[in-house]
Copies of this chain bind each other. A is one copy, B any other.
Amino acid sequence: MTVQGVPGIPTAAVSRLVTYLRILEELERAEVPTTSSGALAERAQVSAFQVRKDLAYFGRFGTRGMGYTVSVLKRELTRVLGLNRSWSVVIVGMGRLGQAIAHYPGASEYQFGYVGLFDVKAELIGTPVDVPAQREGVSGSGLAASAQPRQLNIQHIRDLTAFAQQQAAQGRAIDMGFLAVPPEHAQAAAQSMVEAGVKGILNFAPTLIQPAQDSAGHERGLQEISDEWRDVMVENVDFLVGMKRLAFYMLNPQLRDQDPEEKA
């Protein structure tokens, strides 16, 4: 059931896996013990074939004709997605967007724990912000009843490297940085994160982060990617992409049901 060495998993399948996991959580909350690819497909609005194909990338989870045990499939998908471990996260950019991210429901449930908040605005530095408590231990169902919100004070971005070193020295290295600065500052802020040793960036700014650019934004050839960027993962949560995709499908509704992946 390892994904190591499995060739050719489409990025879209990973996103759908996240959707299936959400549905399984809802089923578990509703105390539904078993489910089927057909039932998952209906809720995820894809075909049952697509569900079976996506799950098959990661292992054999069900019994033919018998469907899936909700708790077992949920546990397996949680493991596949790396959500049975905890992730230490900093947020860079604590304006409206950073605040919305810090309070977005469900992140702590998935072991994403905020350990530091950063900005450059003098009036924000030192401001306390409530963040949800990170759940401890292995993944279970629902929020831990004992989870208390904590407060973090916003720090200046120039202190990020020192903070990261201090965290690492305590065995709690920063895993991810969520980037919520205005687009014109995104590249420089990402560079600061990478210099601080952050290996995963979730970019909320509507701009592309370029590993082949330096912090001044000058394009370099790909061969000039600096070593510090070499194993950095960047994912994007770009509101405009969603807006534009919606516009496209409203104009072309007939294309919505013609995803060739569905038919493969």
Contact = CB atoms under 8 A, between A and B. Distances in A.
Interface string A212-230: 1000000000100000000
A157 interface: no
Contacts of A143: none
A101 interface: yes
Interface stretch (A61-69, A116-124, A166-174, A202-210): A202-210
Interface string A228-260: 000101011111111111111111111110111
Contacts of A251: 82
Nearest to A2: B252
Contact of A233 (B81, B199, B206, B253): B253
A105 interface: yes
Nearest to A19: B208
Contacts of A3: 252, 255
Given A10-B12, A10-B261, A96-B103, 13 more contacts: A7-B258, A9-B259, A15-B241, A18-B238, A19-B241, A80-B248, A82-B250, A201-B246, A202-B242, A204-B239, A233-B249, A233-B253, A237-B237
